[in-house]
Each structure stands twice: as C-alpha cells, then as structure tokens.
Amino acid sequence: MVGFFRRIRLTASFCPISGLLVLIFTLIPFTSVTAQAGPGDGYDLWLDYQPVSDTALLLDYQQQLLRIQAPEGDGTPRVIREELQQGLSTMLGREPVFETRDASRAGLVVMPYEALPESLRKNIPAPEAGIETYRIHRVQKGKHRPLVVTAHGDSGLLYGTFHLLRLLQMHQPLARLDLSEAPRTDIRMLNHWDNLDRTIERGYSGFSIWNWQTLPDYIDPRYMDYARANASVGINGTALTSVNANALILTPHYLEKVKALADLFRPYGLKVYLTARFSAPMEIGGLSTADPLDPGVIAWWRQKADEIYAMVPDFGGFLVKANSEGQPGPQNYGRTHLDGANMLADAVAPHGGVIMWRAFVYSEHDPTDRAKQAYSEFVPYDGKFRDNVLLQVKNGPIDFQPREPFHPMFGAMEHTPLMMEFQITKEYLGFATHLVYLPKLFEETLQSDTYRKGKGSTVSKVVDGSLFGNRLTGMAGVSNIGTDYNWTGHLFGQADWYGFGRLAWDPDLSSETIAGEWLRCTFSNDPGVIAPLKAMMLESREAVVNYMNPLGLHHIFDTGHHYGPGPWVDNLSRPEWNPVYYHQADAEGIGFDRTATGSDALSQYAPEVARYFGNLETCPEEYLLWFHHLPWDYPLKNGRTLWDNLGMKYQQGVDQVREMILTWESLESQIPPERYRQVHMLLGIQLKEAQWWRDACMLYFQTFSGREFPPEMEPPQHTLEYYKSLKFPYAPGIRPRWN
Ligand code: GCW
C-alpha cells in the first residue's frame, strides 16, 4: 500500500489545506484495513527507500538529484516521475523539483536518448539497441554535468530509473557513474498458479491477489505495487492464472477483468499472459471436439485470440500445460504436442503473441524412468515448432526438488527456444515457513555446463539464446506471492522474487551479488548486518538439501501436499507418484540407478556430462543417489560409509539451521522488532521441521540398512510409527479439485 498511500501523503505536503483532508483519508486505511502496518512489516518489499544516513553522501545526492528533468505525460512517464518523487523525497528528506522549462538547471536528466539536447548527447555513448536497454551516465565534460538516465524506449527509462534508485539505496557514489544495461532474455515472467476462486496451487502466503469478484471496477492498490515491484527488477510478463487451467478465464466476463489488469500494468512494462485450457473450445465454445487439426477448433482459437487482442492489444500469449497430470491436450485426439502448440501459435501469430508450451510431461502408461520422459517426448520435434513457440522446461528433470541436476533438454534442442521454469514458491522446500535462499539454487542450474558445444556451454547460454542463436528467449518463475501482508509469507521469500527477476534479466549474475543488493535495499547498508545475513542466506539452500534430501535423494515428500517427509509412501495409483520409486532403498543399499545398468537417463546428456555423473570417481556426492544405487557400506570421500554419511548430512542440516538462528539472534538490536520476531519464530519452526525430517527419514532407512546411527547424529525424538502416523489433511497449497 505504501506506493499508493505514500503518494497521497506526498501530495499533502504541497498544499496545507488539502493536506489536512488527505491526512484524514490516509488514517482510515491505516487503522482499519492495514491494522498491522508499521515499520518493518515488509509490505514495501525492497522498495522501502530508507533515509540516507551518511551525511556526506546525503549532501552529494541532494546537490545532484533534487532538480530533475523527466518525461512528461501519462503512462510510463507518469510512473517514472512518481517513483522518483517517492524514492528521492524519502531517501533524501526533501521534495525533488521537476524542471519543465530550464532543463540546463537539472542535476538529474531522465530522457529518451533521442530527446537529449545535442550538447549532452555528444558526451554520452548511446544505449544498446532495444526498448528495454538503458544507460546511466554522469556527464564529465561541459558546463552542465548532470547525471543522465537514458534509453530508446519508455521501458528502458523506467528500468534505468529503478536502477538509479537502487544505487542510492545501496549508497553508491555517483561521481563517475557510467553503466549500460540490456536484458539477456526477452520474456521475464511470473507464472501465478492462482485459481479463479483465489486459492493458489502450491501457494503458501495467503490467497490470490487477483480479486476476480470485484474486478474490473474495484482496483486494489496492491495491483500497482505488484507492478512496481516487478518493474523494479525487470520482470515484464505475468501469467495470471494456473497452468491447471480453467477455461472460464477466456470468457468475456473474465476477459473484462483481465483487460483492467493489463491496462494497469501497461505503464510498468508488464504484459499479461493467460493459461489456455486445451479443451476450452468444448467447455466454453460449445464444440464437440478440441482436436487441434479440426477446422472448427482452429477457427475457434483464432477468433478467441482476435477477441482477446481487441481488448488487450499487447496481450503476451498463452501458457499451456497439456497432456500432463490429467490436463487435456492434443494427445486426447491422437495428435501430438507439436500439433497442439503450432495450432495455438498460428492463432496468436498475427498479433505478435507467443505460446509457452510446457515440457512437464510424464505418463502413467510409460514405464520408463520419469526423469527421461520429457526429453523423449519433445527432442524429436526440434526445429518443427513455429517461430513463436517456446518450450518451457523446469530446471530439473523431475520436479522442483531441493537439488536436481539440470534438465537434459537444455542444450539438446538447438533449433527450439527453451524457456527456463523455476519455482519461486517453495512446494518442496518447506513452504513459506523455511528460510531458503533460492537464487543459490537457480544459479547452480544456470551455471551447469551442458557441454553441447564444448566446455562452457552453460544452461544460462541456452536460456539467453547465445549458445545456438535463438531469436526468442525467456525465463518463468512460479510465483510465491499472495495476500499476506508482506506478500510472500516469509520476509526472506521476498529475496526469491527479487532474485528471480534479477536472474531473468541477467542469468549470469551471482546469487551472492543478488543477496547483497536485496539486503541493502531491505535491511541496511551496515556491513555488520549484511555480512552475517548474506552468509546465512547463501548457506540456507545447502541446509535444506541436507535436512530433507541429502546426497542426491529426491521426491521423498509426503504425498499430495508435499509437507514433510514421506519416504515410506508406496500406495499411490501411479508408481512415479510414490517416494519409494525415487529412493529405491532395499537391504543392499539405496539410490536410483540412472547409469547404463539402470534407466540410462544419463544417455540424454552430452557424453562429457554423462561420463562425469556416471563415473563414481567424478560424480559429486551431492548427486550420488540421483544417479547411482549404492551399498549401505559404500565408502564416501571421507572414508565413512554411505549410511554414516547419510546420518551425518541430516544432522548437518539441523545444525545449519541452529547456526542460522544464532546469526539472527546476534542481530536482534539492529532489526525492527516486528520483523525480528516474525523471522525468529519461523526459524524456530524450520528447526523443528529439520529435526522431523532427519528423524523420520533415518528411522525409515534404518529398517533397510539395519545399522546403528552414526555417533554424530542426535538420537531421534520419536518412533518411526509416530512419524508415519502424522497426517495433514489441511496443509496449504493443494488444488481444491483436479479439473
Ligand atoms: O510440482 C508439480 C505440482 C503440481 C503442479 C505441477 C506442474 C500446477 O505438484 O501442483 O501443477 O507440478 O508443474 O504442472
């Protein structure tokens, strides 16, 4: 709300009389709607623009930045001016003045490159081509030496403005600034798994922020703050609805609401996308088939696309989950994924739209290793998709586990743009209750080497299109946002949203850099706060791997809700839904053999990668049980048995959470009390759940290994029967019904 309310408060300072009235109005929402609002509540995300405390720096900023020349007019120019006013007045303690007449007095110039006066332009290198690129340059020559933010398009100016504000939040000097930025991917988007009844599949921070009931007439201020937050990290797309799609979103009644959101988001450079239910022509169109080769179906989708584009001219396109986990798709009619994707692509092509076709498919009728199925299904179609189709591929071959090797499709489809899909919401990482800094996980995937064009063929280069010269590129993140006051439930979950955006912009950014930025913008510039918190965040990902799925274990979660351990579950209808399918524990040992003696999933990687993971000498221990089935007494690098190491890893995860708690407690005096208490309580839950994971998994695996726990491990707190008896029918995030 701050974006909205702060703007109102700022207006007050210009006119004392209206100021009084405004004050009355602002008090109402603060006391009624937002009863818990206050310092440290987290609503402002990384945009809370703390006053600059360093006096010398403050003076410098005030001298340079309080007279501004900025574009006039509505839309993005208005957003830019508002953001500058909000950010600068709060950080610098004084209202900036927008120069409309004498631009030569402006210390800060935010203008399109083409509109800069010649005297400035000759001293500033042009930004790279593109409407989203920008340059921030402090002019060094001539009488007038402003700081200039310039771009070829509105979006670039907006992104440059946010970048400048971030630099100020991070207390960076301005004197010699010269930086040039261009996004490395075209589509940088959030995927909301939000249902029309406002529940969120795998959502752990409240309900959907889209209030479909009151749209299009009631505009929640959150919508704008959502768009601002996304724009501030360069996110330029949002798929509003779940991939387990409901066809109703494509009816006129809902499209009016979609249009309202699209109109609001446009000035922030944020495009709207929708999920397309493949059977929509039957469910809302009255057709008797949804066969993608049927002329009536083809015409229906074309007409539907025309209808949407008439309302939302910059509509992004459709995101599709087809023939996956019970969703309808072209295979229901004996057609292929290729037929389905291309048919939809033709419908949106005349309007410049794209189709993001998800590669998350595995079949209950296919007895081969689930990890192999998407590759087998899609790779043969390489080069056959229309130009406006992207395949959206999850980071790993199973499903958003705490650790997976990169998906073998990355690098295997030279002629098809592959879009990365990360999960920002923590379905398999402790929900919104656990502090797990995800950019560390994202970075691990992006920096993995596919070896498809020799050493250095990283996944990041597949995603940004540079490895094969793909024209269209993108990255999607499954959103962790809901109606919780601080958006993400856990304050540190905001770092995952932030970090996703930053990595979509530049897939080679380091997770450490991102953590530093987020901490400075969210907490403080005090190195005594940043250093310990950054270390804690960077360590947190390995901690969750250790206490949930160490040494390459995966998918041993309790079923359905995926809350807590369930390695014993073996009674689900589909074999690959059962955790026992993934760990394969028996009296001899544990692990999934994906080498040539097993499922041979390794053969889907480049030979160098296959050899690396396949050879026990070189396979990193983090991936051991992902690729190999090994005896309990197999010696690991430290000379101890696999069994002992398993217990030691689980214990290490628990100890790491204890360390995180100590770190947090050591900073109590430097963190706003509300924020301190909230994170502290959540860390307490994380510790309990880490112990639960350790005890439940080790007791269960002991029934196979028959060995004593290693001395390093604390004894379990309960029996295996106790852990097995735990049931959580109301754990959050499960879809109300499968469509
Ligand atoms: O991770 C699994 C989830 C499903 C999800 C599916 C998918 C939207 O358990 O809830 O459905 O993946 O990605 O399609």
Residue-level pLDDT at 33:
31
479-516 residue pLDDT tens: 999 999 999 999 999 999 999 999 999 999 999 999 99
Higher pLDDT, 8 or 423: 423
Exposure class string for 134-154: b at 16+ Cβ within 10 A, else e: bbbbbbeeeebebbbbbbbbb
Over the chain, what is the mean pLDDT? 93
Mutation choice for ligand 1 from 244, 370, 576, CB with most ligand atoms inside 8 A: 244
- Catalytically active residues are 325, 399, 427
Residue 14 has pLDDT above 50, yes or no: no
Residue 382 has pLDDT above 60, yes or no: yes
392 alpha carbon – ligand 1 mean position (Å): 13
What is d(CA 514, CA 529) in angstroms, rounded to the nearest whole number? 16
Nearest CA to ligand 1 atom 1: 399
Domains of the chain with bracketed CATH: 4-37 (no CATH), 55-181 (3.30.379.10), 187-521 (3.20.20.80), 546-592+629-725 (3.90.1330.10)
Residue 456 has pLDDT above 80, yes or no: yes
Atom of ligand 1 nearest to the CA of 193: 8
What is d(CA 292, CA 279) in angstroms, rounded to the nearest whole number? 10
Q: Where are the alpha helices (DSSP H) in 430-559?
A: 439-446, 459-463, 493-505, 511-522, 527-548
What is d(CA 544, CA 562) in angstroms, rounded to the nearest whole number? 14
Q: What is the mean pLDDT of residues 379-408?
A: 98
Rg (CA), the chain: 26
201 alpha carbon – ligand 1 mean position (Å): 8
399 lines ligand 1 (CB under 6 A): yes
666-692 residue pLDDT tens: 999 999 999 999 999 999 999 999 999
DSSP 208: -
Nearest CA to ligand 1 atom 13: 360
Atom of ligand 1 nearest to the CA of 562: 9
For 124, list phi and psi in degrees, rounded to 5.
-125, 120
Q: Which of 414, 504, 506, 398 is nearest to 462 (CA)?
A: 414
427 lines ligand 1 (CB under 6 A): yes
**Amino acid identity for residue 517 in this structure:** E
pLDDT more than 90, % of the chain = 91
What is d(CA 299, CA 326) in angstroms, rounded to the nearest whole number? 25
Residue-level pLDDT at 32:
28
87 alpha carbon – ligand 1 mean position (Å): 38
Contact 538, 511 (CB under 8 A): yes
Atom of ligand 1 nearest to the CA of 324: 14
Helix (H) or strand (E) run with residue 478 in it: strand 474-478
Mutation choice for ligand 1 from 360, 395, 557, 739, CB with most ligand atoms inside 8 A: 360
Q: pLDDT-derived band of residue 40, with 50, 70 and 90 as boundaries? A: low
Nearest CA to ligand 1 atom 12: 399
Give bridge partners of residue 429 from the DSSP assignment: none
What is d(CA 699, CA 716) in angstroms, rounded to the nearest whole number? 8
625-659 residue pLDDT tens: 999 999 999 999 999 999 999 999 999 999 999 99
Residue 7 has pLDDT above 80, yes or no: no
Atom of ligand 1 nearest to the CA of 735: 10
pLDDT more than 70, % of the chain = 94
DSSP E strand stretches across 247-396: 271-275, 317-320, 354-358, 389-394
Residue 277 is encoded by which pair of tokens?
A: 């239910």
What is d(CA 325, CA 315) in angstroms, rounded to the nearest whole number? 27
572-628 residue pLDDT tens: 888 888 999 999 999 999 999 999 999 999 999 999 999 999 999 999 999 999 999
735 alpha carbon – ligand 1 mean position (Å): 10
Residue-level pLDDT at 505:
98
254-275 residue pLDDT tens: 999 999 999 999 999 999 999 9
Residue 28 has pLDDT above 70, yes or no: no
Task: Report the chain's terminal Cα–Cα distance, integer Å.
Answer: 34
Q: pLDDT-derived band of residue 41, with 50, 70 and 90 as boundaries? A: confident
Residue-level pLDDT at 101:
72
Atom of ligand 1 nearest to the CA of 733: 10
Residue-level pLDDT at 102:
73
Q: Which of 370, 455, 470 is nearest to 413 (CA)?
A: 470
Contact 674, 39 (CB under 8 A): yes
Higher pLDDT, 88 or 31: 88
Atom of ligand 1 nearest to the CA of 421: 13
Q: What is the mean pLDDT of residues 6-28?
A: 34
- Per DSSP, the three-state class of 540 is helix
CA distances from 697 to 94, 241, 399, 542, 656 (A): 58, 36, 20, 17, 18
Give bridge partners of residue 421 from the DSSP assignment: 394, 476
Which residues lie below 8 Å from residue 225, measured CB to CB, with a gap of 6+?
1, 2, 3, 4, 43
Residue 38 has pLDDT above 60, yes or no: no
Q: pLDDT-derived band of residue 341, with 50, 70 and 90 as boundaries? A: very high
Residue 371 is encoded by which pair of tokens?
A: 């990890």
Residue 535 has pLDDT above 60, yes or no: yes
What is d(CA 240, CA 435) in angstroms, rounded to the nearest whole number? 26
What is d(CA 534, CA 31) in angstroms, rounded to the nearest whole number? 35
Q: What is the mean pLDDT of residues 101-130?
A: 92
Contact 479, 504 (CB under 8 A): no
Nearest CA to ligand 1 atom 2: 399
399 alpha carbon – ligand 1 mean position (Å): 8
Residue-level pLDDT at 26:
34
The DSSP secondary structure of 404-435, one letter per residue, reads: -PPPTTTTT-TTS-EEEEEE-S-TTTTGGGS-
CA distances from 521 to 46, 163, 204 (A): 5, 12, 24
Residue 72 is encoded by which pair of tokens?
A: 């006039």
128-182 residue pLDDT tens: 999 999 999 999 988 889 999 999 999 999 999 999 999 999 999 999 999 999 9
Provide long-range contacts, Cβ within 8 A and 24+ apart, for 516-524. 517/46, 517/166, 517/170, 518/46, 518/494, 520/169, 520/170, 520/171, 521/46, 521/47, 521/48, 521/166, 521/169, 521/170, 522/45, 522/46, 522/48, 522/491, 522/494, 522/495, 523/671, 524/50, 524/670
Residue 250 has pLDDT above 50, yes or no: yes
Examine residue 216 and say whether the peptide bond preceding it is cis (omega within 30 degrees of 0): yes
193 lines ligand 1 (CB under 6 A): yes
- Per DSSP, the three-state class of 687 is helix
400 lines ligand 1 (CB under 6 A): yes
DSSP E strand stretches across 240-284: 271-275
Residue 30 is encoded by which pair of tokens?
A: 């603060």
563 lines ligand 1 (CB under 6 A): no
Q: Mean pLDDT lowest for which of 11-15, 323-327, 554-558, 715-719?
A: 11-15
39 alpha carbon – ligand 1 mean position (Å): 36
